[in-house]
Chains A and B, each alone.
Chain A
C-alpha cells in the first residue's frame, strides 16, 4: 500500500534552534518528493522538490535530503524563526502508469517559541 508517514506529529522548539522533520514513504514507483509549508488557515506553499537522483537540496534555511534506497526524506530547518511556525507536509508523486498520482503525509506541526 502506498503511504507517506511523517514524524514527529508535532514539535516545539525555541527561536534560533535547529530541527529536523522526517518523512518515510512506501510509494512505488517513485517519481519525486516535495516538502510544502502550510501556515495556519492558508494554502500550502512548495519549499523543495527532490527527484530520484538528488540527495540534498537547499532553499535558504531549509535543507531537504532524500535517501531513495531507504525511502526516507528529511527537512532540516536551521536557525529557526517565529515565522517558521507552520505545518510541514511531505508529498510523494508516483511514477509509471500512475504518473502524477500524489500521496500526502499528515504533516508535522512546528511551533517556534521566542
Chain B
C-alpha cells in the first residue's frame, strides 16, 4: 500500500540529547513537510522540501534540522537546542500545493 511511514511512534529523550524522527513515503511525491502539533494549537510548519537535496525553513525551524538525500526520505532531527521539544510531530507529503498526505505521527517526550 502507498503511504507515509513515521517511526518511532513514541520516543523519549533526555535533556541534552539529539533525536532523529524517520519519515518515509512511497507515494512518489516531490514535496515533504514536517509539522509540530501542540495541544490546543494549530499545526506549525518546521521544515519543508520541494525537491531532493533542497529544503527550506518553516515558521519554527530553530532547534531542528533535516536532510533530503532521497526522494522517499525526509528525516527530522530534534537537537538539544530545541528548548521545548515535547510534542506530536507529523510528517506529510504532497503532489500539489496544499494537498497533504500525513503520516501517523511521532510523539516525543523529554524526560
Closest B residue by C-beta to A98: B97
Nearest to A90 among chain B residues (CB) is B42
Cβ contact within 8 Å between A42 and B104: yes
Give the distance to chain A from B36, nearest Cβ to Cβ, in Å: 11
Could you tell me the dominant secondary structure of chain A's interface residues? Answer: strand
Minimum distance in angstroms from B45 CB to a CB of chain A: 8
B residues with CB within 8 A of A: 4, 6, 40-45, 88, 90, 92, 97-105, 107
Residue in chain B with minimal CB distance to A106: B42
- How distant is B88 from chain A, measured CB to nearest CB, in Å? 8
- Of A43-51, A62-70, A71-79, the stretch lying at the interface with chain B is A43-51
| Nearest chain B CB to A40 CB, angstrom units | 10
Residues of A within 8 A of B (CB): 4, 31-32, 34, 41-46, 49, 89, 91, 93, 99-100, 102-107
Q: Is the CB of A41 within 8 A of B90?
A: no
CB-CB under 8 A from A93, the residues of chain B are 97-98
Q: How far is the CA of A41 from the CA of B37 in the complex (A)?
A: 11
CB-CB under 8 A for A102 and B103, given A4-B42, A43-B90, A107-B42:
no
Query: Is the CB–CB distance between B104 and A43 below 8 Å?
Result: yes
Contacts of A89 in B (CB 8 A): 42-43
Which residues of B are found within 8 Å of A105, using beta-carbon distances? 42
